[in-house]
Amino acid sequence: MKKSGKFYFIAIIAILVCFVFQAAQAATSEPGSEGDPLVSKGYVDQQLNILLEKMRTIQFQNNELTTKVAALQTSLDEIAAGGAGSSAQGYTVIEITAGQLLLAGEGGVEIILRSGQAVAISGINGDGIADITAGKSTAYDLKSGDALPQNHLLLLPRNDGRGIQASTNIFIMIRGEYTINE
């Protein structure tokens, strides 16, 4: 019987220790504290709505940025493929291969042929390309088929079909909007 008495004594001590630990834990965690947060359903719903609104705003901004990136990528692809280009700030040196056409874009374009040979292309009304270096008179306008002189400032004032066609590979300095076609 002595063994069973020790057993009961140890069991009672273990149960008392468990009660003491539970009481200590309950005393340190107050309802509403960090250890035992107490929030209402309304508060949780309010916080969720705030997060959802932020997510919607971010999604909208992401969609706008995606659209802008796609438009910029399309412009870059056109320029890389020899499509539309612009050098509005200063002159840009470009190479055009034999047979390619350069047509004036919106706002006109200035060209200086640096090397190679090219011919003028008149506009839809037969207007030529103004040779600013040669003079002001319309006698200095280059018409379709006329050879472009090297190192002359040439003006294509609007996008009415005026341009140049490279007879050989050429290098030009250009300022303004333009399109290069095969």
Residue 166 lies in a domain: yes
What percent of the chain lies above the pLDDT cut of 90? 27
pTM over 0.75: no
Q: Are 118 and 167 in contact (CB under 8 A)?
A: yes
What's the pLDDT tens digit per position in 156-167?
888 888 899 999
φ, ψ for residue 50, nearest 5 deg: -60, -45
Please report whether residue 14 resides in a domain. no
Q: Per-residue confidence at 12, pLDDT binned at 50, 70, 90? A: confident
Q: How far apart are the C-alpha atoms of 118 and 98, rounded to whole Å?
A: 9
Question: What token pair was written down for 92?
Answer: 């840009």
58: in domain: no
* CATH code, 111: 2.60.120.1030
Question: Which sign, positive or negative, has the C-alpha torsion 168, 174, 176, 177?
Answer: positive
Per-residue model confidence (pLDDT) at position 29: 61
Q: 113, 172 in Cβ contact below 8 A?
A: yes
pLDDT tens digit sequence for 34-81: 666 677 788 888 989 999 999 999 998 998 898 888 888 887 877 666
Q: Give dist(CA 25, CA 8) in Å, integer.
A: 26
Q: Enumerate the β-bridge partners of residue 156.
A: 109
The tally of domains found in the chain comes to 1
Domain range for 102 is 86-181
pLDDT tens sequence across 104-154: 888 889 999 999 999 999 888 878 888 888 876 556 688 888 899 999 999
Residue count of the chain, please give it. 182
- 123 belongs to a structural domain: yes
